Amino acid sequence: NAGVTQTPKFQVLKTGQSMTLQCAQDMNHEYMSWYRQDPGMGLRLIHYSVGAGITDQGEVPNGYNVSRSTTEDFPLRLLSAAPSQTSVYFCASSYIGRAGRQFFGPGTRLTVL
């Protein structure tokens, strides 16, 4: 199993540009989520999904959209990038009954100029 994969690993955007961060898992996990981690800080939940077609907001959802059309994929869209969105983004997944035990991807390091 590849586990949780994220692409790209690094990305530089200009203010106002949009982009999609990709996340995929091959463990048939129902639950998937996106976190961001700012320098020297803990992780903060952006959006999460408990299954295909179901998404909900986390702590810091503004400026981000998600959709979950398949069990495997959970892309995160930045609508109009701002410097405040410069961060490392982590995707995670787990079985719905074991959501305390999440598998994390390697992260995408995003810089917005």
Partner 1 sequence: DAKTTQPTSMDCAEGRAANLPCNHSTISGNEYVYWYRQIHSQGPQYIIHGLKNNETNEMASLIITEDRKSSTLILPHATLRDTAVYYCIADVEGSSNTGKLIFGQGTTLQVKP
Separation of alpha carbons 106 and 90, rounded Å = 7
Binding mask 52-71 for partner 1 (x = CB under 8 A): ----x-x-------------
x-or-dash string of contact with partner 1, 87-106, rule CB under 8 A:
-x-x-x-x-xxxxxxxxxxx
> Is there binding between residue 107 and partner 1 (CB under 8 A)?
yes
Residue 34 tokens read as 């996106």
Of the residues 44, 51, 83, 86, which one makes contact with partner 1 according to CB under 8 A: 44
| Residue 5 sits in the site that holds partner 1 (CB under 8 A) | no
Q: Shortest approach of partner 1 to residue 100 CB, angstroms?
A: 5
Burial of residue 90, with CB atoms counted within 10 A of its CB: 0-12 exposed, 13-18 middle, 19 or more buried = buried
CB 103 within 8 A of CB 93: yes
User: How far, in Å, CA of 113 to CA of 1, rounded?
Assistant: 36
> For binding to partner 1 (CB under 8 A), which residues are involved?
4, 31, 33, 35, 41-45, 48, 50, 56, 58, 88, 90, 92, 94, 96-107
